[in-house]
């Protein structure tokens, strides 16, 4: 093996590191970790549902307010013509 170096690719290095990590002893996990994770997940789910409901209520209120405004002001109607002054003393 004169002058020949063994070249290790990045993939081989990563694979070797993963194998070392899997062969090493694993740290202990707290027993209440699963319970805490489930509680946090439920909290996030409740918060997301509440925000979605508030969003739908606000959107519905905005649509109703727009419909009421449009029904009262009738923005599609032509403005009254007031170009000539009224005639008096004929």
Q: Where are the domains of the chain?
A: 30-72
Q: How far apart are CA 64 and CA 61, in angstroms?
A: 5
Q: How far apart are CA 86 and CA 38, in angstroms?
A: 78
HSE of 84, CA atoms in CB hemisphere, 13 A: 3
Q: What is the mean pLDDT of residues 64-79?
A: 90
Q: How far apart are CA 15 and CA 18, in angstroms?
A: 5
Q: Give the tens place of pLDDT for each residue, 8-23.
A: 677 889 999 999 989 9
Q: In this model, does residue 53 exceed pLDDT 60?
A: yes
| Both structure tokens of 68 | 């009421």
Predicted local distance difference test score (pLDDT) of residue 7: 57
Q: In this model, does residue 70 exceed pLDDT 70?
A: yes
Q: Give the tens place of pLDDT for each residue, 21-42.
A: 899 888 888 989 999 999 999 9
């Amino acid at each position: 093996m004169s002058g020949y170096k063994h070249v290790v690719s990045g993939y081989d290095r990563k694979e070797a590191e993963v194998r070392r990590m899997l062969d090493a002893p694993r740290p202990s996990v707290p027993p209440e970790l699963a319970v805490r994770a489930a509680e946090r997940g439920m909290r996030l789910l409740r918060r997301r549902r509440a925000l979605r409901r508030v969003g739908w209520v606000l959107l519905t209120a905005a649509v109703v307010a727009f419909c009421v405004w449009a029904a009262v002001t009738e923005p599609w109607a032509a403005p009254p013509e007031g170009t000539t002054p009224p005639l008096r003393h004929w």
